[in-house]
Amino acid sequence: MLKESKNTISYYFEEIERDKPGEYDEINLEKFIDEIEKDEITEKFLTIPTMTYYTENLTVKELLLICEYYGFSKEMKSQKYNKKQIIEKIVSFESVADNYNIVTKRQNNWFYMNELKNDKFMKKFLLW
């Protein structure tokens, strides 16, 4: 419990009695992880930083390159998706466990492209 005054904060702890002795002492980590992986809300919270990153750091043109890599850029262009819709589609695709390999490969390739682009010597060989 938290008690607050003008310039100080003080805490006091209250012990909660358990119904069964040792009830919470051991945690089945595998069961806990399975429960988290099945929880759709957790997936939504994990995608918020990615959506924020894409919104703040990438242009629509760059987002469409990601869509093209994943194979659904024609859909984006033909239906004239706006930036927010494109980001939602990308993040939705990337959050599916079956797409893990292609997402990781794309992220690695983008990292290497940026490294080459930022190298004085190598950037002259890169058409990006």
Listed by start position, the domains of the chain span 27-125
Rounded-to-integer distance, Cα 86 and Cα 76, Å: 7
Secondary structure in 3-state letters for 59-103: CHHHHHHHHHHHCCHHHHHHCCCCHHHHHHHHHHHHCCHHHHHHH
Confidence band of 61 (pLDDT split at 50, 70, 90): very high
Amino acid sitting at position 108: N
Confidence band of 18 (pLDDT split at 50, 70, 90): low
Q: How many angstroms separate the Cα of 2 from the Cα of each of 5, 10, 14, 17?
A: 10, 6, 11, 20
More confident call, 4 vs 19? 19
What's the mean pLDDT in 110-114?
93
More confident call, 114 vs 28? 114
Residue 22 pLDDT exceeds 50: yes
Residue 4 pLDDT exceeds 80: no
Q: Is pTM beyond 0.85 here? A: no
Non-local CB neighbours of 116 within 8 Å, separated by 6+ positions: 122, 123, 125, 126
What's the mean pLDDT in 71-85?
88
Confidence band of 49 (pLDDT split at 50, 70, 90): confident
Q: What is residue 125's DSSP assignment? A: G
Say what the pLDDT of residue 115 is.
94
Give the three-class secondary structure for 11.
Answer: strand
Q: Is 66 exposed, middle or buried (0-12, 13-18, 19+ CB in 10 A)?
A: buried
More confident call, 14 vs 54? 54
